Amino acid sequence: MKDDFIYFDYNATTPIDPRVARAMRPFLTGFFGNPSSVHLAGRQAREAVENARRQVAEGIGCRSEGIIFTSGGTESNNMAIHGLLPRGGGGHVVTSAVEHPAIMEVVRSLQERGLISLTIVGVDEWGRVDPVDVEGALRPETFLVSVMLANNEVGTLQPLAEISEICKKQGILLHTDAAQAVGKVPVNVEELGVDLLSVAGHKLYAPKGVGALFVRSGVSLDPLIRGAGHERGLRPGTENVLGLVGLGAAFSLIEGELGPEMSRLERLRNRLRRLLAGGFPGLLVHGHRERRLPNTLSVAFPGIESSLLLDRLRDEVAASAGAACHGDDVVLSPVLTAMGLRTEICRATIRLSLGRFTTDSEVEEGAERILGVIREVGPGKRFCRSEEPTDSDVKV
């Protein structure tokens, strides 16, 4: 990347922290044993894997036995849902309208194949699920509720502890996709009351291709794939020792740094918002005002097409859009539409997510670059098609 490239897309992926890379390096160049082997090389690898398991467990407040290593958040989510599916199908699942595709596509596929019935509960204008709605969706045959902890687009945090109390009263398991929350806010499985929790390494400065699933003691899962008895028989295949060492090292950095980093990122995010609002008075901010990730800023510049804005910025500032244009078609963010935002607001939305290596000067310069492109674009080059969009029948 260019030296002056500004990265405001930490919710998409994070760079590997140099301290994580340093912990991984010996396992890239020296310790290559198979953790299942009983000789010295194998024992060294096994020790590294189990140390990583302890580090992950300590990071989310559980015992090591509760951690199953996977290839990432998507596999963890699939393992949780498919693993609980009753033999032969059947049963009912409840999830929210703002889930990541790694949840939504899984449950929709099972529904389409007739293997489950599905209820998707809506959210309010801030993107937050009402626990009362979850309770109202439960049925005698409900076996799983899956609600994300933090939304990847707008940063809203969900009321997992309240939802957990509802589920416990009816003996229903609760899963959460915590990929966007771990490393950004405190995450403790006991405080949340969840039975299963998914983690993605590349969202918290560990390498891509590694993750974990917390499984509460007493919860029984069927494996997604069959093979040898790795990971309590739930995830066969020789462990990715290099990646797991990185995941463990990333978790080890969280405890001592999380509080100060949360405060720093919140300050930077708020500074970025003020700068953008100062240069574009009509700026709209999405997501809950208080219960939100400290690093995430989802904003709309009404009248400015986000895909055009980001295309102009792609070699200068990394960010994500709330809508994508494909020829004459516009694909809107399901999260933003679930929040009741009009089509033209979705199409004017970008997500800016900050991280461990974001600096004050980058926030200042990044805001200026974004506003500079907006001044260049101006009215008249707003939308993918030549006509203006019509108002949708949902309010902003």
3-state secondary structure of 132: helix
Strands 142-146 vs 173-177: parallel, antiparallel or unpaired: parallel
Q: Which helix (H) or strand (E) holds 66?
A: none
Helical packing angle, 241-279 and 18-29, nearest 10° = 160
**φ, ψ (nearest 5 deg) of residue 296:** -105, 130
The token pair that represents 383 in the structure block: 């939308």
Catalytic residue among 62, 325, 346, 384: 325
- Rounded to whole angstroms, the Cα distance separating 196 from 102 reads 15
**Residue indicated by tokens 């299942």:** 36
Hey, what's the torsion of the CAs at 191, 195, 200, 201, to 10 degrees? 60
The CB-based long-range contact list for 314-318 (8 Å cut-off, 24+ gap) reads 315/2, 315/5, 316/4, 316/5, 316/6, 316/369, 317/5, 317/6, 317/8, 317/366, 317/369, 317/370, 318/5, 318/6, 318/7, 318/8, 318/9, 318/12
> Token pair of 110, please?
């099972």
Which residues fall within 8 angstroms of residue 218, CB to CB, at 6 or more apart? none
Contact 289, 301 (CB under 8 A): no
Q: Which is it for strands 349-353 and 296-300: parallel, antiparallel or unpaired?
A: antiparallel
Alpha-carbon span 310 to 314, nearest angstrom: 6
- Whole-number Å distance between alpha carbons of 58 and 188: 9
User: Catalytic: 325?
Assistant: yes
Q: Nearest Cα to 350, choosing from 375, 370, 380, 334?
A: 370
State which H helix or E strand residue 346 sits in.
helix 343-346
User: Catalytic positions, please?
Assistant: 325
